[in-house]
Amino acid sequence: MSSLFPALADHPPGQVALRFGERSLTYAELAAAAGAVGERVRGVGRVAVWATPALETAVAVVGVLLAGGAAVPLNPRSGEKELGHILGDSAPGLVLAAPGDELPPPLLGVERIDVDVRATGTAVAEGVGEGDPALIVYTSGTTGPPKGAVIPRRAIATTLDALADAWRWTGDDVLVHGLPLFHVHGLVLGILGPLRRGGSVRHLGRFAPEGVARELNAGATMFFGVPTMYHRIAQTLPDDPGLAEALGRARLLVSGSAALPVHDHERITAATGQRVIERYGMTETLMNTSVRADGEPRAGTVGVPLPGVELRLVEEDGTPIASHDGESVGEIQVRGPNLFTEYLNRPDATAAAFTADGWFRTGDMAVREPDGYVRIVGRKATDLIKSGGYKIGAGEIENALLEHPGVREAAVTGEPDADLGERIVAWVVPVDPASPPGAGELADHVARRLAPHKRPRTVRYLDALPRNDMGKIMKRALAS
């Protein structure tokens, strides 16, 4: 198949591909370093990547892709239970990490290779097909541990090329972002995107409005962020005219992973003159829709289907909704070359996710406006929470809470939060009502087992959980 990154072989001399803080690599240096990784991992199949926000992570993933393997990005803050599950499920043959990174116990049994960003090598993948797996990205469901979405090479190529069309994204663009590198947003769009275009990316290490302003003032043309980042920018703008000026210089500001509230759109536009563009995607589908760079920006909508993506709304019984009346709500289903192939080791879950004729059920509820714009209005499952742009399943947090000796019963809900979009709330029936485990202790317990972003931000104590006649917890009664 054609290369995922043509610019690695054909680049202007000296063109910078990646920059993380003070460290950067030109395309020639990246081709050599990733080629060296590729030589080491060839034939291994699945390769875990300790996905810190560092140059090594980008080199590791590109190296695995050059060798025709599949990278399994790991959240370096994953707790032992989550990490143990991901490693057991994906069974990587190797783990790639930056020299000096300390790996936790579950990884000690996996052969480790340190990524040397100054190494030179030339990996060439032979016999690799478009449908072969490129990435396995773990994503939460309503119950049980996260599932590994197997993302083929075809999906990465087509989604990035569709975004290039929608956003007029070229090799002249310089992207700045501070997203984590173990999810689709930060890794596929934020790192592989600029590399496929032959452009540059500057990663901030961690997000801060000042870092975004600094890079936009120093030539960056685009910024990608989750709504929480835009909310923090909107909060900072009134006291920071320099930030408004810097954002005003950007060619494109893109938000995704969750809905950007209209109020934040409006505050940013008022202060900077810029309109933030929203796009809608999923780990399983990569990108489905976007407001186009040359289209009418409309706060509260996610734009139109990307080239190559078929999108429809369906009623509860599966009947397609033909009308674009801005009112008829249906579940979004999508079909196209941007889709994942399966959930690793989960044929049951894969089968349930698709209709008989190959449409993927997103679980997102939306309306179509008369001109085709998609407006997302909610989610089918109340047990999926989007907090800070991370998808978190209520079930996995409930299970972790129940493993605490002081917890008799637990239910988890999401509540609106101006900063995070939704905040994780744990409803807990303690074993001993006279001395319940503290909120901080329960947050630490979940953070240690799963990941810090999955920790409850609020804990509420009850004598009993509200249940219906069947014994099922009535979450709606909790939320009200």
- Which residue, 379 or 453, has its beta carbon nearer to ligand AMP? 379
b/e burial code for range 42-59 (CB count within 10 A of at least 16 → b): bebbbbbbbbbbbbbbbb
Tokens representing residue 376 in the block: 């997302």
Q: Phi and psi dihedrals of 284, rounded to 5? A: -75, -20
Q: Does 256 bind ligand AMP (CB under 6 A)?
A: yes
Residues 6+ apart with CB under 8 A from 333: 311, 312, 313, 314, 355, 359, 360, 361, 362
- CA angle at 241 for the pair 205 and 250, rounded to the nearest 5°: 55
Q: Does 390 bind ligand MCA (CB under 6 A)?
A: yes
Please report how close the Cβ of residue 396 comes to ligand MCA at its closest, in angstroms: 16
The entry of ligand AMP, ligand MCA, none near residue 408 (CB within 5 to 8 angstroms by kind) is none
Q: Does 257 bind ligand AMP (CB under 6 A)?
A: yes
Residue 69 near residue 47 (C-beta atoms within 8 A) = yes
The entry of ligand AMP, ligand MCA, none near residue 180 (CB within 5 to 8 angstroms by kind) is ligand MCA
Q: Find the Cα–Cα–Cα–Cα dihedral 317, 323, 329, 331, rounded to 10°.
A: 50
Strands of 222-225's sheet in order across: 23-26, 16-20, 200-203, 174-177, 222-225, 252-255, 277-282, 286-290, 304-305
The entry of ligand AMP, ligand MCA, none near residue 278 (CB within 5 to 8 angstroms by kind) is ligand AMP
The entry of ligand MCA, ligand AMP, none near residue 175 (CB within 5 to 8 angstroms by kind) is none
Q: Which of 113, 447, 462, 478 binds ligand MCA (CB under 6 A)?
A: 447
State how far the Cα of 162 lies from the Cα of 156, in Å rounded to an integer: 10
Judged by CB under 6 A, which stretch of 5-13, 15-23, 123-131, 277-285 contacts ligand AMP? 277-285
Residue 305 near residue 315 (C-beta atoms within 8 A) = no
Q: Which of 64, 304, 407, 443 binds ligand MCA (CB under 6 A)?
A: 443
Q: Find the Cα–Cα–Cα–Cα dihedral 338, 360, 288, 455, rounded to 10°.
A: -100
Q: Which of 78, 228, 338, 362 binds ligand MCA (CB under 6 A)?
A: 228
Please report how close the Cβ of residue 437 comes to ligand MCA at its closest, in angstroms: 13
Judged by CB under 6 A, which stretch of 50-58, 86-94, 236-244, 452-460 contacts ligand MCA? 452-460
Interacting residues toward ligand MCA by CB under 6 A: 77, 179-180, 183-186, 207, 226, 228-229, 256-257, 281-283, 388-390, 443-444, 447, 452-453, 455
Interacting residues toward ligand AMP by CB under 6 A: 139, 184, 256-259, 278, 280-283, 302, 362, 364, 376, 379, 386, 391
